[in-house]
């Protein structure tokens, strides 16, 4: 159980509280601290970003925009367990948004839990028919698990959404698709 799950278990009302808060717009000074944190992350300064996030009011910590920035902080810091926990909370708070699902799967993959990453995306792929990243990432996960036929099928779906040239460009530097590099060049 991750630290965010422990928080939810300790306070059963937390998700309801988060759902109410997420409908509210962030106001000053919180919006300024969040914007500053994003700016610092853009400059790859995780220390300053963390300092800005620490200045946020407790009442906004469950806001989807705050969780998104926290995810990026953990991603940039390569704190994959915290990134996965944060993305999982995003999936609970805004299940209709693909960001949480995509990034939960990615963090799990980075934790070498590729089967779990695959299992996160498979059930929601049809909910987001225009999200090529879901299909591309599923192709990567399948390739890593040795399921090359399924990887090809997912790549074809991604190509159908954004085109072969973009997929070739992405795959050229993607170690997850190394087994299929020659084949992908032929697309």
pLDDT of residue 55: 98
pLDDT score recorded for residue 24: 73
pLDDT given for residue 3 in this prediction: 46
Question: In 55-187, which residue ranges form alpha helices assigned H by DSSP?
Answer: 64-76, 80-93, 98-110, 114-121, 132-144, 148-162, 164-172, 181-185
* pLDDT per residue rounded down to tens, the chain (187 residues): 454 455 445 444 455 445 444 457 899 999 999 999 999 999 999 999 999 999 999 999 999 999 999 999 999 999 999 999 999 999 999 999 999 999 999 999 999 999 999 999 999 999 999 999 999 999 999 999 999 999 999 999 999 999 999 999 999 999 999 999 999 988 8
- pLDDT reported for residue 186: 86
Contact assessment for residue 86 and residue 106, using Cβ atoms and an 8 Å cutoff: no
Which residue has tokens 């999982």?
A: 88
The pLDDT score that the predictor gives to residue 33 is: 98
Cβ atoms of 129 and 152 within 8 Å: the answer is no
**Residue whose structure tokens are 């990567």:** 140
What does the alpha-carbon distance between residue 170 and residue 153 come to, in Å, rounded to a whole number?
Answer: 17
Show the domains of the chain with their CATH numbers.
1-94 (no CATH), 114-187 (1.25.40)
Q: Which pTM was predicted?
A: 0.86
**DSSP category for residue 50:** H
């Amino acid at each position: 159980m991750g630290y965010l799950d422990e928080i939810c278990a300790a306070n059963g009302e937390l998700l309801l509280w988060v759902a109410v808060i997420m409908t509210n717009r962030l106001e000053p000074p919180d919006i300024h601290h969040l914007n500053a944190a994003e700016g610092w992350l853009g400059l790859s300064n995780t220390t300053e970003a963390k300092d800005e996030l620490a200045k946020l009011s407790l009442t906004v910590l469950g806001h989807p925009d705050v969780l998104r920035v926290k995810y990026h902080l953990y991603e940039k810091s390569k704190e994959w367990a915290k990134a996965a926990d944060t993305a999982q909370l995003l999936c609970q708070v805004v299940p209709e948004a693909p960001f949480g699902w995509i990034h939960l799967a990615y963090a799990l993959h980075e934790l070498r839990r590729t089967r779990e990453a695959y299992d996160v995306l498979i059930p929601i792929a049809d909910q987001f028919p225009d999200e090529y990243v879901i299909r591309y990432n599923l192709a990567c996960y399948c390739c890593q698990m040795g399921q090359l036929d399924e990887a090809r099928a997912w790549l074809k779906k991604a190509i159908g959404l954004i085109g072969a040239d973009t997929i070739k460009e992405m795959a050229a530097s993607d170690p997850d698709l190394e087994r299929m590099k020659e084949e992908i060049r032929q697309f």
